[in-house]
Structure formats: structure tokens, C-alpha cells
Amino acid sequence: MKKILLVEDEEDLVETGSFFLQSAGYDVCVARDGLSAMEAIYDKKPDLIVLDIALPEMDGYQVCRMVKNSPLYKDIPIIMLTAKTLKADKFRGIETGADKYITKPYSPEELLSTVSELL
């Protein structure tokens, strides 16, 4: 079973995202801020990360950059899942190393097809 780290600080989005991913057969662990995300990445080495940008402690751009600059973790695919819809935000996300960029609100099908594509 593939392990996905969902990094999101909004409870309702954690619940719905976890539900969609678990229903599709993925093992989901959750982090609610950037520092907890880094700890979970080091401890659990997920197969994929779904990462919000606006997070407490450390934002998603910083988390993404740290993961992609690490020789041990750089191959973990990252999907940025965010409310930031400007082209400059998307460019910055891709520039920091995100493999895909999905804006909220999103459909479960879009998330699941993107996860499947990257795994």
C-alpha cells in the first residue's frame, strides 16, 4: 500500500482529502504544519506528498524546497494543493520543485488521477 503524506492545516480539508485517498486504497498520514511535515517525511518516508502552501511554522514552498534539495528525499513526488491561483504562485511552486500544482476547490477525480499518475 502506497503511503501519502497530506500536509494541510484546515480540518475539513484534512478530513475530505484523507477520505478520498483512503477510499482509493492509499495509506494516509497527516501533518498540519510545515515543521510537522518535515518530521513526518524523515520518519515515514512517504511515497508521495500532497502539500498546501499556506501553512503555520514553515510554508509549503519551504517544505518543497527542502525535500527536493535532499539527496534522500528528492525523488518523492509533490503535489501542491492550494487556494493560490495566480500564475506567479503556480510558477513559484513548480520552480521550488513541485511535480504538480492543483488549485482549490478541486475534484476528487482530479486529485486521485494526479496521485495515480505520479505513483
Boundaries of every domain in the chain: 3-118
Q: Identify the CATH number of the domain defined by range 3-118.
A: 3.40.50.2300
* Better-scored residue on pLDDT, 79 or 106: 79
Distance of CA 10 to the CA centre of its chain: 13
What does the alpha-carbon distance between residue 25 and residue 4 come to, in Å, rounded to a whole number?
10
pLDDT digits (tens, 9 = 90+) for 37-64: 999 999 999 999 999 998 998 999 999 9
pLDDT digits (tens, 9 = 90+) for 16-39: 999 999 999 999 999 999 999 999
Q: Is the pLDDT of residue 84 over 80?
A: no
pLDDT for 104 equals 84
